[in-house]
Structure 1
Amino acid sequence: MFPIRDHNPSGRTPYVTYGLILLNVGLFISYWGLFRDPRAINALFFDWALIPALISEGQGYAGILTSMFLHGGLMHLAGNMLFLFIFGDNIEDALGHGPYLGFYLASGIIAALTQYVAQPLSVVPTVGASGAIAGVMGGYLLLFPKARVDLVVILIIVIKVFPVPAWLMLAVWFALQLLGELSGQSDGTGVAYLAHLGGFIGGMVLILPVWLRRGGPAFWNRTHGRPPHPTGRYTDTIRIPKTGRRR
């Protein structure tokens, strides 16, 4: 089960979101060949990933920022970029290009610090944009809780698209991260659930002033939690058409 699109067209071209996707993809391509050499890829991650034990020793501070632009594999990158593509444009539309970039980076830093505070002696490198993207998802939950999100559900040979409200999809995602952390799955899967949780909550806190300026609960009452503009219309196929906001 994974999202493929939302019914929430943005009113401006999301240059920062596109730039972040291109940056992450470009960087991954630049070191992709290193995955054939475990020593080389481990050296790269030692220098640029988040390693809590190094920070506790007074080293590796750059990894708090640079780790969010590294990925541990092709599927890791693809999944993160898909979520950023779906949810990032609307937060960029709401904040503006510059503030959105600051919001994204701040969410990633909060996620990294959450992981560090929880496991300050860990020597396992943490990489990925998912903490920052979790912040984008947290902001989306506060601003557009009832925007429709299309999920592709694959049941053996049956593929079906289900539209669901954003709050439901994001709540399930958050619950899965919490369950993964509480059950200790991070030790076996290598997933930094705490970073995801910290980024998500951090994004909600960071977006809170914008939500309050729009009226807070009154904004929800006015929009009923849906995007305050006409939504995109899609067929029930998986093809993703281009759409823009009608004024």
Structure 2
Amino acid sequence: MFPIGDDNSSRTITPYINYLLIALNIFVFIFVQALGTNPYIIAGFSTVPAEIISGQDIVGNGLGPTPVPVYATIITSMFMHGSIAHIAGNMLYLWIFGDNLENVMGHFRYLLFYLICGVLASLSHVFVAALLDNGLFVPSLGASGAISGVLGGYLILFPKNRVRIFALPFIFRVPAVITLGLWILTQIVSQWNSIHGQEDTGVAYAAHIGGFFAGIFLVRSFAKRSAVFQG
């Protein structure tokens, strides 16, 4: 079961930034990461919690040299993905939900919102890794944290928007508050299971949760005052 579309009837601008973010992620995955097969790019530009905590580049423990300041990896990691399924899922969510936020924020505000949510999502992952003393040397990458912020913002501004959900063999129209509410619930449950050793998928659920709540708390500050709040 996954979303395939939403209500864009109120959109009045072309979401150039959303298109650009999608294109940039795809470009990096294909031409820089070689479809996710370049281990040097992954090791060098992903966020490693231990490096963020120490502020030092760590070589060893399966990690190679980082060619940029370690704190810059919080940004670079947001534009890399580990597999075709990883980027396909992320870009689908960004395509569906991002344009609505860009419409009520404007291009620059939306870009800033997206990046800030991504940064806060990565820091959430680093914090949980340090708190649990787990995964400190595991590279983290992907746009999921920033996109989670988009989902959190969408939930606040467009809770009644109908989201088209595909579940074999049917397509349902479900209010966003239910669709995204169930999504964040699964992230919280998965994080809980991960902490208690019942699930180990390698997914940075803390980043998803941190990004989502960052989007919830920040979205009204970035939306234009003329925006219509449905909630």
In 1, the alpha carbon distance for the partners of 2:55 and 2:172 equals 48
Amino acid at match of 2:97: F
Matching residue of 1:56: 53
Distance across 2 between alignment mates of 1:98 and 1:211: 11
In the alignment, which residue of structure 2 is the partner of 1:6? Answer: 6
* Pairs within 5 Å for 1:10-21: 10-21=11-22
**Separation in 2, partners of 1:180, 1:61:** 27
Moved >4 Å (runs of 4+): 210-215
Once the 2 structures are TM-superposed, how far is the Cα of residue 57 of structure 1 from its aligned partner? Answer: 2.2
* Aligned twin of 2:67: none
Instruction: Give me the whole-angstrom Cα distance separating, in 1, the residues matched to 2:125 and 2:34.
Output: 28
Q: Select 1:188's aligned residue among 185, 196, 200.
A: 200
Residue in structure 2 matching 1:109, options 97, 100, 119: 119
Matched, 1:119 2:129: yes
Greater C-alpha radius of gyration? 1
Contact 1:142 1:211 in 2 (8 A): no
* Whole-Å separation in 2 of the counterparts to 1:193 and 1:182: 9
The DSSP-based 3-state class of the residue aligned with 1:12 is coil
Change (3 A) 1:96 1:48: same
* Residue identity in the other structure for 2:212: F
Report the Cα distance in structure 2 between the residues aligned to 1:182 and 1:124, rounded to whole angstroms: 19
Whether 2:93 is the aligned partner of 1:74: answer no
* Aligned ranges 1:136-175 → 2 under 5 Å: 136-154=150-168, 159-175=169-185
Q: 1:196 to 1:31 in 2, by over 3 A?
A: same
Cα distance in 2 for residues equivalent to 1:17 and 1:169: 21
CA drift of 1:33 comes to: 3.3
Q: Which amino acid aligns with 2:2?
A: F
Give yes or no for contact 1:186–1:193 (8 Å, CA) kept in 2: no
- In structure 2, what is the Cα distance between the partners aligned to 1:35 and 1:71? 7
Closer/same/farther in 2, CA of residues 18 and 56 from structure 1, 3 Å limit: same
List gaps (5 residues or longer) in structure 1: 226-247
Alpha-carbon separation, structure 2, partners of 1:112 and 1:191 = 12
In structure 1, the residue matched to 2:64 is: none
What is aligned with 1:203?
A: 215
TM-score (norm 2): 0.85
Tell me if the contact between 2:33 and 2:41 (Cα under 8 Å) persists in the aligned partners: no
Give the letter aligned to residue 118 of structure 1. Answer: V
Alpha-carbon distance, 1:208 to partner: 2.7
Q: Percent identity between the aligned chains?
A: 45
Q: Which runs of 5+ in 2 are unaligned?
A: 57-69
In 2: Cα distance, 1:201 partner to 1:210 partner: 15
Instruction: Give the 3-state SS of the residue equivalent to 2:71 in structure 1.
Output: coil
Whichever residue aligns with residue 42 of structure 2, its letter is F
Quote the RMSD (CA, aligned, Å): 2.0
Provide TM-score, normalisation by structure 1. 0.80
Query: Residue type of the partner of 1:181?
Result: Q
Q: In the alignment, residue 199 of structure 1 is paired with which amino acid?
A: G
C-alpha change, 1:186 and 1:54, in structure 2 (3 Å) is: farther
Q: Counterpart of 1:240?
A: none
How many Å apart are 1:188 and its aligned residue? 1.9
The answer on whether the counterparts of 1:186 and 1:192 sit within 8 Å (CA) in structure 2 is no
Q: What displacement does 1:58 show?
A: 1.2
What is the alpha-carbon distance in structure 1 between the residues aligned to residue 111 and residue 222 of structure 2? 15
Once the two structures are TM-superposed, the CA of residue 55 in structure 1 deviates from its matched residue by: 1.6
